[in-house]
Chain A
């Protein structure tokens, strides 16, 4: 009974999250929510790599940038329709992730963190590099046009984009959820908790670590592509190391080893800076930091752990 009820509850929440903004939110709010989905996918990728896989990567922003620029270059130079750029961005970023995952195997812990950090730092410079300028638009970046709703649906571009992004996001979240519950997910967690024991059980560390890295990158790539289409502009200055750190913060605040944590994390990333600015115009960064520290004190497992605790309490009393 409770199993069915919780599933129904989840479906109701998802439907509400889709339909309520579509009906009632302004264009600007829909734009923000679309960004939330894009970031949620990137944070989810990070959760898979770090929370479930146990590998620390500080370069998620780099994969986000790869996805964003793949979509932008395809739309700008090859006239590819926006929806077709998503799978291409996914595959491209996935391959880049796999390629980077291979050497990453040999490293662990701090060294992996540093290498991924270096990757993220080099992204803006690579994007501005003269050789690639014709493709990437260099410092000027690439401006993208927002797509109109297809099939003559009476939705404006913001509404349609939210619907589209939500659908893609929901599909990927479902896939991630299944992945984590599958044997692969169990293998990932085993490697995270007890690599020696996992190896002894016959789990190929190399293969699963690389796979995890690639999947994490793929998610970030899709998030980046969706985000680029929503913002309508990509430029190297949008993908500095700050983005990777922001995604990292989103993962920790949302809850690292949790699928739903990615959503909470993304909401935090998008809305908290605005709230901080409301509180103080002079030092918004400091306020943001303060809120972050408070979160760490009172909810070290992230928002997801708070929610889970609440749900458990409700189920027990019912």
Chain B
């Protein structure tokens, strides 16, 4: 009885394996009437301020469908929550790829979260497009040909800040706080790139925090006590807001240079208090909705109309919405370039061949472009300073 059962079992396993291992055609998730797109972002947890990205994309693709879809097909946009937890990201990615059978993964958010799925998605040969993280490694087209970045790299951004501080405050005593992961470390390395062996002399205090911490108030006090007059922060909005508030409250007014992931008014400046944020320097590649200069710009009007119609309760001072609109636009441009061939290979090929597209809401003078050896669509940044109630841009466009 036992042996027969075992043999029957093994035979069944073999049979099941044959049934299950039928090769998936390279056109996955696309039919004559539908294109399935997968997306993951933190709708819950410490990074949930980025959840508006998913909300914006859902509305954006609904508008695409309302206007007729792409090549006669409607977009089926599946967006899942990972709570910024890498283990959960792995699970949701597997679900999208293996259960929902999406054509590709679009704009998943976070550095540690995308790191967790990096090898898997490349081994499965699923396009991993325009990831919402700017760590240096997403442009590695040689080892990870299915992954493409989007925004200018954090390291490049940090180098720009380093050069700015060197020019503005040549005798500065500086301090740095960074998130203890790939995102934060890129800033450390970027600054080290610029300062070289002088780094330790200039940066008298370097502190870190975990993305699961409740507060960074104690780090702020530590930084103030170091006597520094320049503070560089590589933090996500929740912590940037805390830092702005705390440093103001303890009467410390350094030159604050902030990572542009926190450049959102709604997520950072408003919770901190606009008057406390006066003078903060950050960078941008997007038009800020509160900047009076763009009041009558065509693309800004188009975006406001979109927000009014599709996300009426959305906060139009939140740069995350602007970011999402831009990256969804490049996705749309890529899909349009595919013609009628939506195989994963072609989608990836078109993504790697974007010819200088002036995306809506990019600062003037900036455009997106990729080639098979350049997987970084956006490269340029401009510095901006917080003044009373808006970001005031200054200086030249860097890196275009």
A interface residue numbers (CB < 8 A to B) = 19, 22-24, 26-29, 31-32, 35, 124-125, 128, 139-141, 143, 153-156, 159, 231-233, 235-238, 240-242, 277, 281-282, 284-285
Contact = CB atoms under 8 A, between A and B. Distances in A.
A277 B17 contact: no
Contacts, number: 99
Interface string B112-136: 1001101110000000000000000
Interface residue tally on B, bucketed by range: 35 or more
Given A156-B17, A231-B90, A139 B185 contact: yes
Given A156-B17, A235-B116, A29 B86 contact: no
Given A19-B9, A125-B210, A284-B43, A26 B99 contact: yes
Given A141-B112, A159-B17, A277-B81, A27 B180 contact: no
A128 B116 contact: no
Given A238-B85, A281-B43, A284-B44, A24 B16 contact: yes
B355 to A, nearest CB: 34
**Interface of chain A, helix or strand or loop or mixed?**
helix
A32 B91 contact: yes
A231 B87 contact: yes
B212 interface: yes
A156 B79 CA distance: 28
A2 B18 CA distance: 41
19 contacts: A23-B13, A24-B16, A26-B20, A27-B20, A27-B94, A28-B98, A124-B212, A125-B210, A139-B112, A140-B181, A143-B119, A153-B13, A156-B17, A231-B116, A237-B85, A237-B210, A237-B211, A238-B85, A238-B86
B17 A155 contact: yes
Interface of B: 9-10, 12-14, 16-18, 20-21, 43-44, 79-81, 84-87, 90-91, 94-95, 97-99, 112, 115-116, 118-120, 180-182, 185, 210-212
Contact of A284 (B81, B116, B181): B81
B13 A159 contact: yes
Given A22-B13, A28-B94, A231-B90, 6 more contacts: A28-B97, A28-B99, A140-B182, A233-B115, A235-B112, A284-B81
Closest 10 CB pairs of A and B: A28-B98, A139-B181, A238-B87, A23-B16, A233-B116, A240-B212, A28-B99, A154-B17, A28-B94, A154-B14
